[in-house]
Amino acid sequence: MYDGDIASVLITEQEISDKVTELAKQVADDHPEGDSDLVLITVLKGAVMFMADLARALPVPVQLEFMAVSSYGSSTSSSGVVRILKDLDRDIADRNVVIVEDIIDSGLTLSWLLKNLQSRRPRSLEVCTLLRKPDAVKVEVPVKYVGFDIPNEFVVGYGLDYAERYRDLPYIGTLDPKVYSS
Protein backbone atom coordinates (compact mmCIF):
# COMPACT_ATOMS: atom_id res chain seq x y z
CA MET A 1 0.00 0.00 0.00
CA TYR A 2 1.27 3.51 -0.87
CA ASP A 3 4.26 1.87 -2.51
CA GLY A 4 7.43 3.87 -2.01
CA ASP A 5 5.73 6.91 -0.45
CA ILE A 6 6.88 6.13 3.08
CA ALA A 7 10.56 6.93 3.65
CA SER A 8 10.82 5.27 7.05
CA VAL A 9 8.69 3.78 9.79
CA LEU A 10 8.97 6.04 12.82
CA ILE A 11 6.62 4.19 15.19
CA THR A 12 5.48 0.62 14.56
CA GLU A 13 2.00 -0.77 15.04
CA GLN A 14 3.23 -2.70 18.10
CA GLU A 15 4.85 0.40 19.63
CA ILE A 16 1.62 2.35 19.15
CA SER A 17 -0.39 -0.43 20.73
CA ASP A 18 1.93 -0.64 23.76
CA LYS A 19 1.78 3.13 24.21
CA VAL A 20 -2.02 3.20 23.99
CA THR A 21 -2.17 0.61 26.79
CA GLU A 22 0.22 2.69 28.90
CA LEU A 23 -1.68 5.94 28.31
CA ALA A 24 -5.01 4.26 29.05
CA LYS A 25 -3.63 3.10 32.39
CA GLN A 26 -2.48 6.62 33.27
CA VAL A 27 -5.84 8.14 32.34
CA ALA A 28 -7.77 5.46 34.24
CA ASP A 29 -5.60 5.90 37.35
CA ASP A 30 -6.51 9.60 37.38
CA HIS A 31 -10.18 8.98 36.56
CA PRO A 32 -11.57 6.01 38.46
CA GLU A 33 -15.15 5.08 37.67
CA GLY A 34 -17.26 7.74 39.34
CA ASP A 35 -20.72 9.26 39.45
CA SER A 36 -20.49 10.30 35.80
CA ASP A 37 -18.60 8.81 32.86
CA LEU A 38 -15.40 10.33 31.55
CA VAL A 39 -15.92 12.30 28.32
CA LEU A 40 -13.37 11.93 25.51
CA ILE A 41 -13.44 14.81 23.04
CA THR A 42 -11.85 14.22 19.66
CA VAL A 43 -11.16 16.81 17.03
CA LEU A 44 -11.83 15.35 13.60
CA LYS A 45 -10.25 13.76 11.76
CA GLY A 46 -6.67 12.97 12.73
CA ALA A 47 -7.34 11.61 16.19
CA VAL A 48 -10.07 9.11 15.33
CA MET A 49 -7.81 6.02 15.22
CA PHE A 50 -6.15 6.97 18.50
CA MET A 51 -9.49 7.70 20.16
CA ALA A 52 -10.97 4.41 19.00
CA ASP A 53 -8.04 2.42 20.40
CA LEU A 54 -7.73 4.47 23.59
CA ALA A 55 -11.44 4.19 24.38
CA ARG A 56 -11.27 0.40 24.07
CA ALA A 57 -8.08 0.19 26.16
CA LEU A 58 -9.57 2.26 29.00
CA PRO A 59 -10.94 0.08 31.82
CA VAL A 60 -13.45 2.80 32.78
CA PRO A 61 -16.65 3.83 30.95
CA VAL A 62 -16.19 6.70 28.53
CA GLN A 63 -18.52 8.75 26.36
CA LEU A 64 -17.39 9.95 22.95
CA GLU A 65 -17.81 13.48 21.62
CA PHE A 66 -16.55 14.90 18.35
CA MET A 67 -15.77 18.40 17.17
CA ALA A 68 -14.86 19.64 13.73
CA VAL A 69 -12.98 22.90 13.46
CA SER A 70 -11.33 24.86 10.73
CA SER A 71 -8.60 27.42 11.26
CA TYR A 72 -8.80 30.75 9.54
CA GLY A 73 -5.79 32.09 7.70
CA SER A 74 -3.29 30.46 5.38
CA SER A 75 -3.62 26.78 4.68
CA THR A 76 0.05 26.03 5.34
CA SER A 77 0.32 27.45 8.84
CA SER A 78 -2.46 27.55 11.36
CA SER A 79 -3.26 31.00 12.72
CA GLY A 80 -4.80 29.87 15.97
CA VAL A 81 -8.11 31.50 15.02
CA VAL A 82 -10.62 28.73 14.84
CA ARG A 83 -14.16 28.34 13.55
CA ILE A 84 -16.39 25.54 14.84
CA LEU A 85 -17.86 23.45 12.00
CA LYS A 86 -19.37 20.83 14.28
CA ASP A 87 -19.81 21.41 17.99
CA LEU A 88 -20.24 18.92 20.83
CA ASP A 89 -23.64 17.21 21.05
CA ARG A 90 -23.73 17.40 24.84
CA ASP A 91 -23.04 19.85 27.63
CA ILE A 92 -19.75 19.17 29.45
CA ALA A 93 -20.50 21.31 32.52
CA ASP A 94 -19.28 19.53 35.66
CA ARG A 95 -17.94 16.58 33.62
CA ASN A 96 -14.44 15.12 33.64
CA VAL A 97 -13.13 15.69 30.12
CA VAL A 98 -10.06 14.50 28.22
CA ILE A 99 -9.28 15.98 24.81
CA VAL A 100 -7.78 13.28 22.58
CA GLU A 101 -5.38 14.50 19.89
CA ASP A 102 -3.16 12.67 17.44
CA ILE A 103 -0.45 15.33 17.34
CA ILE A 104 0.47 18.69 18.81
CA ASP A 105 2.46 20.64 16.28
CA SER A 106 2.35 24.42 16.83
CA GLY A 107 -0.17 23.96 19.64
CA LEU A 108 -2.35 26.76 18.23
CA THR A 109 -5.48 24.69 17.61
CA LEU A 110 -5.34 23.09 21.02
CA SER A 111 -4.66 26.36 22.79
CA TRP A 112 -7.85 27.80 21.30
CA LEU A 113 -9.80 24.64 22.05
CA LEU A 114 -8.75 24.56 25.70
CA LYS A 115 -9.98 28.12 26.21
CA ASN A 116 -13.23 27.37 24.42
CA LEU A 117 -13.95 24.20 26.39
CA GLN A 118 -12.82 25.67 29.71
CA SER A 119 -15.50 28.34 29.34
CA ARG A 120 -18.12 25.57 29.45
CA ARG A 121 -17.09 24.83 33.04
CA PRO A 122 -16.10 21.16 32.99
CA ARG A 123 -15.14 19.64 36.34
CA SER A 124 -11.72 18.80 34.90
CA LEU A 125 -10.12 19.25 31.49
CA GLU A 126 -6.94 17.46 30.40
CA VAL A 127 -5.20 16.70 27.11
CA CYS A 128 -4.00 13.31 25.89
CA THR A 129 -1.92 13.36 22.71
CA LEU A 130 -0.22 10.47 21.00
CA LEU A 131 2.48 12.63 19.42
CA ARG A 132 4.10 15.95 20.19
CA LYS A 133 6.73 17.93 18.27
CA PRO A 134 8.62 19.92 20.90
CA ASP A 135 10.64 21.79 18.25
CA ALA A 136 7.54 23.06 16.40
CA VAL A 137 5.64 24.49 19.34
CA LYS A 138 4.55 28.13 19.04
CA VAL A 139 2.33 28.24 22.08
CA GLU A 140 2.83 26.15 25.20
CA VAL A 141 -0.21 24.11 26.12
CA PRO A 142 -0.53 22.12 29.33
CA VAL A 143 -0.62 18.46 28.27
CA LYS A 144 -0.99 15.80 30.91
CA TYR A 145 -0.61 12.68 28.76
CA VAL A 146 1.94 12.42 25.93
CA GLY A 147 2.71 9.27 23.96
CA PHE A 148 5.84 10.17 22.01
CA ASP A 149 7.91 13.30 21.50
CA ILE A 150 9.03 13.22 17.88
CA PRO A 151 11.38 15.24 15.66
CA ASN A 152 10.03 18.10 13.58
CA GLU A 153 9.43 16.00 10.46
CA PHE A 154 6.27 15.47 8.45
CA VAL A 155 4.67 12.24 9.64
CA VAL A 156 1.66 10.32 8.38
CA GLY A 157 -0.36 7.26 9.29
CA TYR A 158 -2.58 6.12 12.17
CA GLY A 159 -4.94 9.01 11.46
CA LEU A 160 -2.39 11.56 10.31
CA ASP A 161 -2.71 12.67 6.70
CA TYR A 162 -0.98 14.40 3.88
CA ALA A 163 -3.67 15.89 1.60
CA GLU A 164 -6.20 13.49 3.20
CA ARG A 165 -4.14 10.39 2.30
CA TYR A 166 -2.27 7.86 4.50
CA ARG A 167 -4.65 8.10 7.49
CA ASP A 168 -5.38 4.39 7.09
CA LEU A 169 -1.79 3.19 7.59
CA PRO A 170 -1.55 1.19 10.84
CA TYR A 171 1.88 2.66 11.73
CA ILE A 172 3.41 6.16 11.76
CA GLY A 173 6.01 6.93 9.14
CA THR A 174 7.84 9.79 7.47
CA LEU A 175 6.81 10.78 3.99
CA ASP A 176 9.26 10.56 1.11
CA PRO A 177 9.96 14.14 -0.08
CA LYS A 178 9.10 13.07 -3.63
CA VAL A 179 5.45 13.00 -2.54
CA TYR A 180 5.43 16.75 -1.79
CA SER A 181 7.19 17.70 -4.99
CA SER A 182 5.10 15.68 -7.42
Q: Which residues are catalytic?
A: 105
Of 123 and 154, which CB lies nearer to ligand PRP in the complex structure? Answer: 154
Q: Residue 78 touches which of Mn ion, Mg ion, ligand PRP, none (CB < 5 to 8 A by kind)?
A: ligand PRP
Region 122-151 residues binding ligand PRP, contact defined as CB under 6 A: none
Nearer to ligand PRP by Cβ, of 45 and 120: the residue is 45
DSSP 161-172: -BTTBSTT-SSE
Please state, in angstroms and as integers, the Cα–Cα distance from residue 23 to each residue in 76, 108, 117, 146, following that order: 31, 23, 22, 8
**Minimum CB–partner distance for residue 60 and Mg ion (Å):** 29
Scanning 5-13, 27-35, 39-47, 111-119 for contacts with Mn ion by CB under 5 A, the matching segment is 39-47
DSSP, residue by residue, 84-151? EEE--SS--TT-EEEEEEEEESSSHHHHHHHHHHHTT--SEEEEEEEEE-GGG-SS----SEEEEE--
Shortest spacing between CB 49 and Mn ion, in angstroms: 11
Residues that bind Mg ion (CB under 5 A): 161
Q: Footprint of Mn ion on this chain (CB under 5 A)?
A: 46
